Structure 1
Amino acid sequence: MTGRSRLTVLAGPTAVGKGTLAAYVREHHPQVWLSVSATTRRPRPGEVDGVHYHFVDDQRFDEMVRDGALLEWAVVHGRARYGTPRAPVEEVLATGRPALLEIDLQGARQVRASMPDAFFVFLMPPSWDELVRRLVGRGTEDEAERAARLDTARVELAAAEEFDVSIVNDDVRRAAEELVSWMGSPVPPTNRD
């Protein structure tokens, strides 16, 4: 590939499976570069610094914001901050390699403001009940955090029409292959047209 590639932004509500989908893409489509976000939250069991996230303290995150080193950032679920380091994204896009950001709705809106030519994909759950089941089933949040995440998810689901396309995550392999197929499309049809 030569020339600058188009950035693809994947967003959706909590527990919809964005991370699982990104992991599938990472394993089965190594040509796709996946951004690694910075976060102030603590690692979950099995998460590796620099692979799943760049785990940073509040002071370092403040420095990144101040220095303009983040393409986007947000406070998520009223708790931890997450952000996308800008330099790695710009470097990969300049090489022509397909690039994927897996971020939340707030971040997607910020990227749209700074990179309107990016391709925006919204990941949908098969149903609300399935989204709740996934969140409860992963067992990584206490009851208060689950409630906060579900409140946020209701708002996020209403934003699907802001995205170019929506993909239902009813099967990880199928949804990931659909995502990669859209990434390879020259000018895909959009929800925004």
Structure 2
Amino acid sequence: MAVDSGRALVVLDLQRVVGPGGPWEVPGIERILPSVRQLIGAFGSATVLTRHRLAHSGPGTWSAFAQRWAALDEEPEWWDLLDEVSATMPQGASLIDKHTYSAYPAPELSERLSGPATELVLAGCETDCCVAATLFAAVDAGVPVSLVENAVVGPDPESHSGLIAAARRLPEQVRVVTASEALRRPYPAGGNPQKHGAPPSERGGANE
């Protein structure tokens, strides 16, 4: 299924460092991978994948953060994408390294979302950190966001649910959807008509 132009999929930080046995392991990350692969397959070259990297010369607190985790750079393969993700990376997709939580407004992403009919479809991890930061940065820039509920994951279920709930409070800027819903329907022109998102009975299961 091909997607409409003017839409971009952002897959955040699905790297070995957060995979099983990784220093930043996110429990349950494997459960979102089928939905992520479904989205990547449909969006093709309109996909932007990110990798979080340490900012040793970063401003302010970022250099302290990098110093705390400096040992990870001794095994640089931790920063590689998960095999299940890299194997599905389509021709023409963008791979960018980021040194802060938000992926927006990276030039590769801003260029894809430069027209009036735009939509950022958001997947990856961690829900309460990089996903949240990217979501709110895009909202502040006026970009419609589709948060794919079954394609995001975080280490803390309560915080994960909190971000989903917060997104539902922004009906003019964000819609919460499953992967299948995101592919069936682009973000509606003029805003999201479902003021509080679809009821749970319509949202489907984890891998719909």
TM-score scaled by structure 1?
A: 0.48
What's the TM-score, normalizing by structure 2?
Answer: 0.45
More RCO (CA 8 Å, sep 6+): 1
